[in-house]
């Protein structure tokens, strides 16, 4: 695997030195070129010379998503326009998108980290990889596209949607691996079945999925239906796009963070203090090599934990668990905190239920109501009333809140997402 040597994760002796040097350079670059960072560091009484290495990272203030809104569109960029080679953007929670920029060097790093990730996931040079992520401002399309080529594999740039054609191409081109969202992977399997193919007989041996949350049960289902290795791929535009962390094919779960380029911390979302290893908290990332858009201690809003111990695959990059939720997708219903992932994990306990659901929240006078609609599994012979009442009891136990309605509907009754990220929660309250 000599051709993959340049993509290799550094040895542990070299890693720390690299991280220390790169962090110091990044802080310097941000301070000198981005007024926002200079002001924040000045306010905190920190100068670049105070940061010699990662032991000093906690001296730096945390950066929130608001930094993008306040500096829209490109106030956080640390380079002149002439040095930019690409712009992407991701939707912000409040109107304006988060605009992110890349220099030639950034694009090179991006290709390398994502190519390394694909190799870690089991994709090999010479493989044919169908990239079903949306092309355009979304980072999932082009980010993974370039990496597939960099790895020495062949990219089939189908983008998202046109699902029957995707299946035909998988068969005709002998596609070895696909990249898509986890919900789309399941929809793809369902479409293949409708077309008369058993997805397990398709040539695909690796499904790389990401861009939205998934549960362990979903991963198992994706792996089983395609008879393939299913790996979780994590990233976010503000840091680089896909290519921040990924699961390996041989390991037993957990996503390796490419910490030679992105320094990870996990903090208590309320206090901003680091949590002990193994405990859940908010992932905070600092870029170590980004030129156009250095990010210092960026609060991702994504909830996860560091996994202890070494990975059986031998790669020493630290591992995080799959993202279990977002700090900002907490729903407060009648004063009770509910995370959509808690609902999802209950639904997936039931064999008779398919992984398609929607949650509708209404306000009736001053009273919140929560309605959960879920699809019955195709071949499950169940009494819907009985299933609804069992689901309702179990949800009430786990959420400590009794849903106002739980409806089990026929297979295929809920909308599928053919493009982009799936939307499961519809909050109709003010
Ligand atoms: O979704 C980048 C990406 C593309 C990752 C393709 C993987 C594959 P954004 O559109 O900026 O970037 O959205 C980033 O999506 O903060 C998470 O909340 C969520 N997210 C991304 N990957 C995962 C994952 C891309 N594997 C936001 N599991 C992040 C759970 C994920 N959530």
Ligand 1 center to residue 220 CA distance, Å? 20
Give pLDDT tens digits for 107-163.
999 999 999 999 999 999 999 999 999 999 999 999 999 999 999 999 999 999 999
Phi, psi of 338 (to 5 degrees): -130, 125
Shared domain for 310 and 366, answered yes or no, is no
Shared domain for 277 and 361, answered yes or no, is no
Q: How far is CA 407 from CA 30, 43, 190, 361, 401, in A?
A: 52, 53, 22, 14, 16
Shared domain for 395 and 260, answered yes or no, is no
Ligand 1 center to residue 234 CA distance, Å? 5
Shared domain for 314 and 362, answered yes or no, is no
- Please indicate whether residue 141, judged by its CB atom, sits closer than 6 Å to ligand 1: no
Of 235, 244, 329, the one to substitute when testing ligand 1's pocket (max ligand atoms within 8 A of C-beta) is: 235
Closest CA to 204 of 273, 280, 123: 123
Shared domain for 246 and 384, answered yes or no, is no
Distance from C-alpha of 387 to C-alpha of 115, rounded to nearest angstrom: 45
Distance from C-alpha of 90 to C-alpha of 100, rounded to nearest angstrom: 8
Shared domain for 71 and 189, answered yes or no, is yes
Give pLDDT tens digits for 337-374.
888 888 888 988 899 998 889 999 999 888 899 999 99
Q: How far is CA 181 from CA 92, 140, 226, 320, in A?
A: 19, 10, 15, 19
Give pLDDT tens digits for 172-213.
999 999 999 999 999 999 999 999 999 999 999 999 999 998
Phi, psi of 279 (to 5 degrees): -90, 150
Shared domain for 300 and 359, answered yes or no, is no
Closest CA to 361 of 329, 391, 383: 329
Q: Which helix (H) or strand (E) holds 16?
A: helix 12-33
Residues paired with 408 in a beta bridge? 374
Distance from C-alpha of 396 to C-alpha of 388, rounded to nearest angstrom: 12
- Please indicate whether residue 235, judged by its CB atom, sits closer than 6 Å to ligand 1: yes
Contact indicator for 231, 255 with CB cutoff of 8 Å: no
Number of C-beta neighbours around residue 81 at 10 A: 8
Ligand 1 center to residue 429 CA distance, Å? 26
Give pLDDT tens digits for 288-297.
999 999 999 9
Q: Which residue's alpha carbon is at the smallest distance from atom 29 of ligand 1?
A: 236
What pLDDT was estimated at residue 1? Answer: 47
Distance from C-alpha of 392 to C-alpha of 372, rounded to nearest angstrom: 9
Distance from C-alpha of 40 to C-alpha of 54, rounded to nearest angstrom: 19
Shared domain for 115 and 180, answered yes or no, is yes
**Which among 299, 328, 357 is the end of a domain?**
328
Shared domain for 235 and 157, answered yes or no, is yes
Domain total of the chain:
2
Closest ligand 1 atom, residue 323 Cα: 30
Closest CA to 329 of 301, 306, 354: 301
**Which among 271, 293, 328 is the end of a domain?**
328
DSSP state for residue 274 in the 8-state scheme: B
Strands 325-326 and 319-320: unpaired
Distance from C-alpha of 30 to C-alpha of 253, rounded to nearest angstrom: 35
What pLDDT was estimated at residue 92? Answer: 65
**Which among 300, 328, 356 is the end of a domain?**
328
Shared domain for 358 and 247, answered yes or no, is no
Of 90, 179, 210, 232, the one to substitute when testing ligand 1's pocket (max ligand atoms within 8 A of C-beta) is: 210
Minimum mean pLDDT range among 63-72, 245-254, 303-312, 378-387:
378-387
Closest ligand 1 atom, residue 208 Cα: 8
Q: Which residue's alpha carbon is at the smallest distance from atom 13 of ligand 1?
A: 236
Q: SS3 for 217?
A: helix
* Beta-carbon-side half-sphere exposure of residue 274 (alpha carbons within 13 Å): 12
Distance from C-alpha of 281 to C-alpha of 154, rounded to nearest angstrom: 38
Please state the separation of Cα 258 from the chain's center in Å: 14
- Please indicate whether residue 213, judged by its CB atom, sits closer than 6 Å to ligand 1: yes
Shared domain for 174 and 107, answered yes or no, is yes
Give the CATH number, domain containing residue 358.
3.30.300.30
The residue among 415 and 257 whose pLDDT is bigger is: 257
What tokens were used for 62? 């945390």
Number of C-beta neighbours around residue 14 at 10 A: 11
Mean residue pLDDT of the chain comes to 94
Give pLDDT tens digits for 372-381.
999 998 877 8
- Please indicate whether residue 140, judged by its CB atom, sits closer than 6 Å to ligand 1: yes
Give the CATH number, domain containing residue 117.
3.40.50.12780
Domain ranges, residue 407: 331-427
Shared domain for 234 and 320, answered yes or no, is yes
Q: What is the percent of the chain with per-residue pLDDT over 90, rounded to a whole number?
A: 80
Of the pLDDT bands very low, low, confident and very high (cuts 50, 70, 90), residue 385 is very high
């Amino acid at each position: 695997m000599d051709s993959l040597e340049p993509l290799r994760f550094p040895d542990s002796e070299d890693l720390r030195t690299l991280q220390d040097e790169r962090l110091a350079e990044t802080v310097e670059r941000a301070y000198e070129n981005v007024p926002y960072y200079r002001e924040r560091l000045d306010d905190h009484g920190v100068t670049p010379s105070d940061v010699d290495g990662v032991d000093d990272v906690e001296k730096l203030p945390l950066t929130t998503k608001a930094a993008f809104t306040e500096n829209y569109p490109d106030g956080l960029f640390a380079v002149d326009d002439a040095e930019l080679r690409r712009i992407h953007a991701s939707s912000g929670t409040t109107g304006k998108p988060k605009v992110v920029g890349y220099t030639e060097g950034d694009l090179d790093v991006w290709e390398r980290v994502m190519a390394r990730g694909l190799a870690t996931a089991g994709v090999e040079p010479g493989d044919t990889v169908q990239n079903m992520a949306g092309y355009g401002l979304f980072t999932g399309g082009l980010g993974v596209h370039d990496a597939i080529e960099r790895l020495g594999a062949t990219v089939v740039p189908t983008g998202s949607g046109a699902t029957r054609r995707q299946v035909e191409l998988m068969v005709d081109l002998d596609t070895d691996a696909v990249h898509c969202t986890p919900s789309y992977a399941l929809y793809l399997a369902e479409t293949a079945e409708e077309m008369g193919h058993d997805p397990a007989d398709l040539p695909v041996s690796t499904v790389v999925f990401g861009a939205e949350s998934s549960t362990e049960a979903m991963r198992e289902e994706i792996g089983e239906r395609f008879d393939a290795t299913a790996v979780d791929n994590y990233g976010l535009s503000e840091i680089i796009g896909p290519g921040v962390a990924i699961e390996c094919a041989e390991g037993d779960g957990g996503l390796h963070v490419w910490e030679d380029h992105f320094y990870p911390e996990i903090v208590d979302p309320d206090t901003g203090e680091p949590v002990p290893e193994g405990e859940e908290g908010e992932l905070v990332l600092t870029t170590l090599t980004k030129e156009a858009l250095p990010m210092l201690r960026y609060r991702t809003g994504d909830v996860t934990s560091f996994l202890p111990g070494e990975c059986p695959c031998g790669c020493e990059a630290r591992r995080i668990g799959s993202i279990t939720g977002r700090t900002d997708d907490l729903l407060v219903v009648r004063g009770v905190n509910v995370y959509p992932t808690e609902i999802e994990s209950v639904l997936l306990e039931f064999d008779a239920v398919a992984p398609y659901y929607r949650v509708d929240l209404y306000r009736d006078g001053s009273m919140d109501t929560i309605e959960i609609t879920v699809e019955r599994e195709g071949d499950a012979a169940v009494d819907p009333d009985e299933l609804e009442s069992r689901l309702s009891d179990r949800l009430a136990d786990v959420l400590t809140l009794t849903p106002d309605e739980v409806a089990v509907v026929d297979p295929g009754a809920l909308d599928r997402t053919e493009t982009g990220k799936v939307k499961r929660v519809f909050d109709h309250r003010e």
